[in-house]
Amino acid sequence: MSRGSSAGFDRHITIFSPEGRVYQVEYAFKAVNSTNLTAIGVKGTDSAVIVVQKRLPDRLVVSESVTSLYQLTPTIGCAMVGIIPDSKFQVRRAQLEAANWKYENGYNMSCELLSRRMADLNQFYTQNAEMRSLGTTMLLLSYDAEEGAQIFRVDPAGYYRGMRGVSVGVKQQSANSFLEKKFKKKTAYNTEETVELGLECLQTALGSDLKATEVEVLLVSKDDPTVRKLSLDEIDARLNAIAERD
Amino acid sequence: MSSIGTGYDLAAATFSPDGRIFQVEYAQKAVDNSGTIIALRGKDAVVTAVDKVVASKLLIQNANPRVGNANEYIGVTAAGVYPDCRSLLDYVQGEALKYLQEFREPIPIKKLANNLAEYVHIFTLGISRPFGASVFLTAYDAQRGPIVYVVEPSGLAYEYKAWSVGKHRQAAKTEIEKLKLEDMDQDQLIKEAARILLTVRDESKEKNLRIEMGLVGAATGGKHISIPAEQVLEAERWAKEKLEEDDLED
């Protein structure tokens, strides 16, 4: 690969390289894969689900203190993939932004607006030298009264989009191919089917079956717009349903 | 993948080409090179033990302590660059006091651990250098039982059943995993902690070591104390006897 002539700092701080790339932001994307986890988000007719791998870093760690799922408001949840302390930082900021919006404007911040705000903050880091970009990608989910089920993806570059199906992390290529194939055939899924789609996608991408303790699931639906985590029994029920189908 | 960052390691504001932040990894190395610290969570108590290097015979006993208190109920044991440890101790003491003034009750350890983690994390963003310190927060709660949190230089914080950091952390971890900690009471924990530190010590390379211990549990009424020197020495004596017995058996 030919290197354009540069003063040499284009790889060190968030400035342009001669080819017009911002290397530091590209490196931030690599950091998202550093924990070797994958998250899948899928939207059904009336529900949105995020499925993310759960891995204990060590057997001496207390399991309840390890999670990638966070609640931003009573009706907006998120999964974070990437550097964990950066994730917690972003979650706190998102919670603050949403709470501040409610206080200033008197109504709940929508998922789309919150995603846009977090994306704009990420863009800020890409244009300033003092602070680095955060090595995390956010998947937000919500059930919006007007727009229905929502999933948004916000990445370190400051890019955000609403997604019907999305995957983030080390196995995102194979997971995305799986989702594309499924959505080509059918886009209407009920709540149980949506959860199963997410779990099946993760299993396929990882190449092995999952146990309920190795995965976390976040769900929101028209019947229950409060974001909640599925219990181990509920996850088991869906995993068994998938196994029985095959 | 190289383990030194040449060029990408000058500031925490820089990612390396494979997405690592070397300044944070180097801060972790500062902790890895410091004296071993272990924390053991038992049935109704938590014991922390530090293997300190005594720099000079002219220092008074227990100068530069590594075991302190955030408030009466939460103990702080820190490994790594000593001034950074002191700075973080000041921070948690300040946070505990602010919470007490605001809410009129002692700060829950989980909240303090998260506050500390967020604070430590801010220093990994590039404005300043990361802290070269790992902090153990320990408490005993009548409802939830004994609790241990560890906050690393990256800002990562987990709750642990037991943990070790520092020079001999791998060997210490192996020893810890052999124990059935959930059944151990306070006295057993203190003795085992001393035994583990003495086992993993490298006598030929390290001189002038001194063990410092912290304790919180049902027997202390949920209040964290630095274990008095005589008790620590007694535990060390027990441990030395036990190690000699084991040597004889082999």
Contact yes or no for A84 and B124 at CB 8 A:
no
Q: Is position A5 within any domain?
A: no
Given a cut of 70, whether residue A6 has pLDDT beyond it is: no
B100 neighbors B71 (Cβ within 8 angstroms): yes
Q: Is position A198 within any domain?
A: yes
Q: Is position A233 within any domain?
A: yes
Q: Is position A28 within any domain?
A: no
Per-residue pLDDT tens digits for B29-69: 999 999 999 999 999 999 999 999 998 989 998 899 999 99
A53 neighbors A37 (Cβ within 8 angstroms): yes
Does residue A80 sit at the B interface (CB-CB below 8 Å)? Answer: no
With helix as H, strand as E and coil as C, how does chain A read?
CCCCCCCCCCCCCCCCCCCCCCHHHHHHHHHHHHHCCEEEEEECCCEEEEEEECCCCCCCECHHHCCCEEEEECCEEEEEEECHHHHHHHHHHHHHHHHHHHHHHCCCCCHHHHHHHHHHHHHHHHCCCCCCCCCEEEEEEEEECCCEEEEEEECCCCCEEECCEEEEECCHHHHHHHHHHHHHHCCCCCHHHHHHHHHHHHHHHHCCCCCHHHEEEEEEECCCCCCEECCHHHHHHHHHHHHHHC
Per-residue pLDDT tens digits for A163-197: 999 999 999 999 999 999 999 999 899 999 999 99
Q: What is the ipTM of this complex?
A: 0.82
Nearest CA in chain B to A27: B19
Q: Is position A231 within any domain?
A: yes
Question: Whole domain around residue B101: which residue ranges?
Answer: 17-249
Selecting from B126, B160, B177 the residue whose C-beta is nearest the C-beta of A62 gives: B160
Does residue A27 sit at the B interface (CB-CB below 8 Å)? Answer: yes
pTM of the model: 0.88
Given this model, what pLDDT does residue B207 score?
Answer: 83
Does residue A21 sit at the B interface (CB-CB below 8 Å)? Answer: no
Does residue A89 sit at the B interface (CB-CB below 8 Å)? Answer: yes
Given this model, what pLDDT does residue A1 score?
Answer: 41
Residue from A132, A134, A136 to probe the interface with B (highest B Cβ count within 10 Å)? A132
Q: Is position B7 within any domain?
A: no
Q: Is position B171 within any domain?
A: yes
Q: Is position A182 within any domain?
A: yes
Contact yes or no for B155 and A29 at CB 8 A:
no
CATH number at residue A195: 3.60.20.10
CATH number at residue B86: 3.60.20.10
Query: Closest approach of chain B CAs to the CA of A83, in angstroms?
Result: 9
Contact list in B for residue A34 (CB cut-off 8 A) is 19-20
**More confident site: A128 or B230:** B230
Determine the Cα–Cα distance for residues B106 and A120; give it in Å rounded to an integer: 38
Q: Is position B29 within any domain?
A: yes
Selecting from B15, B114, B121 the residue whose C-beta is nearest the C-beta of A28 gives: B15
Contact yes or no for A88 and B121 at CB 8 A:
yes
Query: Closest approach of chain A CAs to the CA of B38, in angstroms?
Result: 12
Query: Closest approach of chain B CAs to the CA of A24, in angstroms?
Result: 6
Q: Report the number of distinct structural domains present in chain B.
A: 1
Contact yes or no for B17 and A61 at CB 8 A:
no
Cβ contacts of B224 within 8 Å, gap of 6 or more = B69, B72, B73, B74, B75, B138, B139, B214, B215, B216
Q: Is position A112 within any domain?
A: yes
Q: Is position B11 within any domain?
A: no
Q: Report the number of distinct structural domains present in chain A.
A: 1
Question: Whole domain around residue A163: which residue ranges?
Answer: 37-245
Per-residue pLDDT tens digits for A223-238: 999 999 999 999 999 9
B8 neighbors B23 (Cβ within 8 angstroms): no
Q: Is position A16 within any domain?
A: no
Contact list in A for residue B122 (CB cut-off 8 A) is 89
